Structure 1
Amino acid sequence: MEEFDYQLVADAPESARITFYKKTYLHVVLAILAFVVVESLFILTIPSSVIELMFSGKFVWLFILGLFWLASTMANRFVMAESRNTQYLGLGIYVLLEAIIFLPMIYVAVAVTESANVLMQAALFTMFLFAGLTYLAFTSTKDFSFLRSVMIVGGFVSLGLIVVGAIFGFELGLWFSLAMILLAGGSILYNTQKMKDEYHTEQYVGAALQLFASIMLMYWYVLRILSRRN
């Protein structure tokens, strides 16, 4: 079992910091590629009747959200473990969960509306937003730690609205999607700055998971808006 070198990124030599950032963003890219591969396999192999079941009943969707919350909590613990294999297991679990959550929306875009180009549009828009926010986090002297409270409160409020909407059958509109994109943007700013202040140089898998989660949250709601437009 590998053990962490308990040295904060902020206190590490410049070469160690650069290596940490390179490994972190490499793992973010690998997680996204793994998501694409797994999602593609799901679309090709899972019967359409099973996928349609995921958005045909409100309680089925609530069960999936509950399962996602429990398993993502476990994944977050795994990626901070001292065992490198356990860290990768946590990241792999989270990628799999994201692929399951995205399956109905991707299925509708590809198989039903036949507008797969919207997936690329949403991906490009999300990529540019992520790049701009990352640049801001690295170059700004502003302390973004206050965003942690915003993310916690916003997360509980949004989860409550999603659950209530699923139970009572009302649609969460454009403004909710825009608010969630802002929340995801705040998460990217906070987690990017957090990397140097709270992470150790060997915790790049955990840092990658946090950034990947924020990217996928943003991508979900960007895709949701663009899918409505088309």
Structure 2
Amino acid sequence: MENHAPVIVREATDLERASFYRKVYSHLALAILAFIVVETLFIKFIPESVISFMLGGKGIWLLILGLFWLGSTLSNRLVFNPSREKQYLGLGVYVIIEALIFLPMIYIALILSEDVNLIMEAALLTLFMFGGLTAAVFLTKTDFSFLRTFIVVGGFVALGIIVVGLLFGFELGLWFSAAMVILASASILYNTSQIKDQFSTDQYVGASLQLFASVMLLFWYILRILMSRRN
């Protein structure tokens, strides 16, 4: 139960805003921790043959992308449901989906290349970039809502390129990963700005999911860039 009636964050008192931001970023941290735990369990218990099948089959990746889209849609609806239990269910479902999507790449980085530092380096770069982008929103007080069109159009274009790449078997090069880092960074700016100006003080679970999705997108492509440099 909420102690106070929810209000728009920008209209809330300093105490209410502080409480909201604390909940958002603590839930984001817990989602990341849950992702690490689930990914570790996947690596430990899912047979190598299944992971190898995921790595080699374009059909399975098209299926996974479809499931990811359906799961993401469901999760986004759940996290903004009035029921707090459904909100946490939505966040949990999304964490599991992300762990599944990441499984083949983490397997390559951790098991095949035997380079734990590669993942740590990608995680630290992601953390520093996220921190810098978040600071840019709060310190400059800029409204980044103008990025919405760029993010929506860029997301559809990127999805189309990924699907075409899977269908015709061509590799998405370094330029694509760099472009996706830019898109993920824009998403962090936009979502943080929206959370600061448009969300209500009871929507901290939904806010944390929005940030988690952007952070994981950034981490994915930073890790891809680092892995391509090691090859």
Shorter-chain TM band: over 0.9
Instruction: Give the deviation of 1:113 after TM superposition.
Output: 1.2
Q: Is the 8 A contact 1:5 1:200 kept in 2?
A: no
- In 2: Cα distance, 1:142 partner to 1:12 partner: 18
Aligned equivalent of 2:15: 15
CA deviation profile, 1:19-64 (whole Å, cap 9, x unmatched): 0000000000000000000000000001000011112111111100
The ranges of structure 1 where at least 4 consecutive aligned residues each deviate by more than 4 angstroms after the TM superposition are: 1-4
Q: Is the 8 A contact 2:79 2:88 kept in 1?
A: yes
- In 2: Cα distance, 1:142 partner to 1:200 partner: 19
Aligned equivalent of 2:133: 133
Q: How does 1:38-77 map to 2 (within 5 A)?
A: 38-77=38-77
TM-score normalised according to structure 2 size: 0.97
- In 2: Cα distance, 1:21 partner to 1:57 partner: 42
2:78 is matched by which residue type in structure 1?
Answer: F
Structure 2 residue 83 is the aligned partner of structure 1 residue 83:
yes
Aligned equivalent of 1:120: 120
Aligned equivalent of 1:213: 213
Q: Is the 8 A contact 2:144 2:193 kept in 1?
A: yes
- In 2: Cα distance, 1:135 partner to 1:19 partner: 18
RMSD: 1.3
- In 2: Cα distance, 1:176 partner to 1:76 partner: 26
- In 1: Cα distance, 2:183 partner to 2:132 partner: 15
Q: Is the 8 A contact 2:32 2:212 kept in 1?
A: yes
Moved more, 142-151 or 179-188: 142-151
Q: Is the 8 A contact 2:177 2:224 kept in 1?
A: yes
Instruction: Give the deviation of 1:198 after TM superposition.
Output: 1.3
Instruction: Give the deviation of 1:127 after TM superposition.
Output: 0.3
- Aligned-partner SS, 2:56: coil
- In 1: Cα distance, 2:30 partner to 2:170 partner: 36
TM-score normalised according to structure 1 size: 0.97
How many equivalent pairs are there? Answer: 230
Instruction: Give the deviation of 1:192 after TM superposition.
Output: 0.5
Question: Structure 1 vs Structure 2: percent identity of aligned residues?
Answer: 60
Q: How does 1:214-229 map to 2 (within 5 A)?
A: 214-229=214-229
